[in-house]
Amino acid sequence: GAVVSQHPSRVICKSGTSVKIECRSLDFQATTMFWYRQFPKQSLMLMATSNEGSKATYEQGVEKDKFLINHASLTLSTLTVTSAHPEDSSFYICSARESSGGLPDTQYFGPGTRLTVL
C-alpha cells in the first residue's frame, strides 16, 4: 500500500527557533498533500492544503507567515513552524493523495511529528 513518511518523528526546540517537518510519499506521486495539527485528546484540524508547484491554501485562522509550506516536488512537502512558541507544541500530521491510480478519495497519512517547544 501507499506509504507516507514524516521526519522527524519527534522534535524538541527552544522558543523562538524554527522547525522544519518533512512529509514524503514513498511509493507514489502526490500533487496534493494536507497538513493537520492535533492537540492532546482532540481531533485533527486541517491547517492547509499543499499543492505541488503552487502556493498552499490555508484554513481560516492559520497564520501563513508562521506555518510556511513548500511543496517543491511530487513526493515532498515541508512545513516550517517559524519562531515557534510553547503554544505551537502539538502533533503535526501530513497526508497525501495519489495523483493517479490508486483508490480515489483516499488519503494516506504519515506517522506524525511530535513538536515540543520549551
Partner 1 sequence: SQQGEEDPQALSIQEGENATMNCSYKTSINNLQWYRQNSGRGLVHLILIRSNEREKHSGRLRVTLDTSKKSSSLLITASRAADTASYFCALNSGGYQKVTFGTGTKLQVIP
Which residues in this chain contact partner 1 in the complex, by CB under 8 A? Answer: 4, 6, 32, 34, 36, 42-46, 49, 59, 91, 93, 95, 97, 103, 105-112, 114
CA-based nearest residue to 91, from 3, 8, 4, 2: 8
Nearest-approach distance from CB 12 to partner 1, in angstroms: 15
* C-alpha pair distances (Å), 83 with each of 41, 68, 108: 25, 11, 29
* Residue with grid cell 500530521, as numbered in its chain: 93
Q: CB nearer to partner 1: give 17 or 42.
A: 42
Instruction: Give the span between the Cα atoms of 17 and 38, in whole angstroms.
Output: 21
Q: CB nearer to partner 1: give 74 or 109.
A: 109
Q: CB nearer to partner 1: give 66 or 114.
A: 114
Report, in angstroms and rounded to the nearest whole number, the Rg of the chain calculated over CA atoms. Answer: 14
Nearest-approach distance from CB 80 to partner 1, in angstroms: 20
Nearest-approach distance from CB 54 to partner 1, in angstroms: 12
